Amino acid sequence: MPKRVIARNTVGNGEGDPLHSLPAEAADLRRTRGCFMERFLAVAGGQLGPIARNESRQQVVSRLLELMREAKARGSDIVVFPELGLTTFFPRWWMDDEAELDSFFEREMPSPATRPLFETAKSLGIGFYLGYAELANENGATHRRYNTAILVDKNAEIVGKYRKVHLPGHADDRSHYPFQHLEKRYFEPGDLGFPVWRAFGANVGMCICNDRRWPETYRVMGMQSVELILLGYNTPTHLPWIPVYDHLAGFHNHLCMQAGAYQNSTWVVGVAKAGNEEGSELLAGSCIISPSGEIVAQATGNGDEVFIAKCNLDISRFNKEAMFNFAQHRRVEHYRLITERTGAIPPD
């Protein structure tokens, strides 16, 4: 399995900031030579193979637990699971029956079925990111459906919740295709924005699948000094209504995540649900990307698999202080169109 450690720590013992005790010139030198780093986080991707429509929550959770235990045995601080990681990718089917649709959603987190994930995480001392379909009843509103991810710390506390903002696909019935993509029918757009949390000794953000294709996703988190972005995905390798780029599915997957990592000087961890799921082939290619834009660890197959990188969080400082020093170089007076308009119009 390809695995490599970027920019090993050559100074300091992990306590305090060694730069503080150095003369300014030495600190600068060490900074430019990249030898002052000290914050490491061992991150595991917990890629899933397909989940069958009739697979129970208990069966899926036992697969997730196996991945979690392996991740911990291999020294990880956190394991990242896919989008909708508790069920099959149900938006591929048109459903009219509310009860049938609801059967794919979680009404509480943890629930009796998902509690073992929290208990095992706590006893092992490992955090996790998990995507799931959320049925929310809050602030007097009932039955709100979101495509959600949570960030859980080593004490099994939910420290962050994110609801998918960019919902792809369509809301109309396209039953003439072998499978559909009905996220626009089954979910409403996330209402929590793109927060960044202080967790695991890092600035951590989350997004979900199609969000990774939009530069705004990364930049909004970049504006909050994000150092680690976690995301899960379910990406069909064939889109029946627009097959023209099917052969580039893997390239586009890495292209957008590598660009997001580089342009915002952040680690990005993208984890797939992969393989042939109920007749729909889902892209694999799960990976961990450094702030340089390089892929440093990658899943090798399209089934359940753990892959790991020891991430030096401090290398995200390099371009945050240089090429992508936002405070020095951004020119917001020229960016207004990005938030004033949704669709593009022809030039004047």
85 in Cβ contact with 273 (< 8 Å):
yes
203 in Cβ contact with 226 (< 8 Å):
yes
Whose Cβ is closer to ligand CDT: residue 210's or residue 298's? 210
**Phi/psi of residue 5, nearest 5 degrees:** -105, 125
Q: Which two tokens stand for residue 11?
A: 């100074």
Rounded to 5°, the CA angle 86-154-202 comes to 100
253 in Cβ contact with 302 (< 8 Å):
no
Whose Cβ is closer to ligand CDT: residue 156's or residue 269's? 269
292 in Cβ contact with 6 (< 8 Å):
yes
d(CA 227, CA 202): 6
Whose Cβ is closer to ligand CDT: residue 124's or residue 208's? 208
Whose Cβ is closer to ligand CDT: residue 234's or residue 286's? 234
Which residues, 6 or more positions from 102, have their beta carbon under 8 angstroms from its beta carbon? 135
Whose Cβ is closer to ligand CDT: residue 146's or residue 233's? 233
Cis check: omega of the bond before 50, within 30 degrees of 0: no
Which residues, 6 or more positions from 193, have their beta carbon under 8 angstroms from its beta carbon? 165, 220
Q: Which two tokens stand for residue 333?
A: 């007076």
68 in Cβ contact with 78 (< 8 Å):
no
47 in Cβ contact with 271 (< 8 Å):
yes
Least CB distance to ligand CDT at residue 312 (A) = 29
187 in Cβ contact with 147 (< 8 Å):
yes
| Torsion (CA) 51, 296, 211, 107 in degrees, nearest 10 | 40
Whose Cβ is closer to ligand CDT: residue 22's or residue 239's? 239
Least CB distance to ligand CDT at residue 17 (A) = 39
Least CB distance to ligand CDT at residue 127 (A) = 23
Least CB distance to ligand CDT at residue 180 (A) = 9
Q: Which residues bind ligand CDT (CB under 6 A)?
A: 83, 168-169, 181, 209-210, 213, 233-235, 239
Least CB distance to ligand CDT at residue 168 (A) = 4
The CA-atom distances, in angstroms, between 39 and each of 112, 312, 315 are 36, 6, 9
Beta bridge partners, 41, equal 311
Least CB distance to ligand CDT at residue 158 (A) = 22
Least CB distance to ligand CDT at residue 183 (A) = 6
d(CA 33, CA 12): 15
Q: Which two tokens stand for residue 267?
A: 């680690």
Active site residues: 83, 164, 209
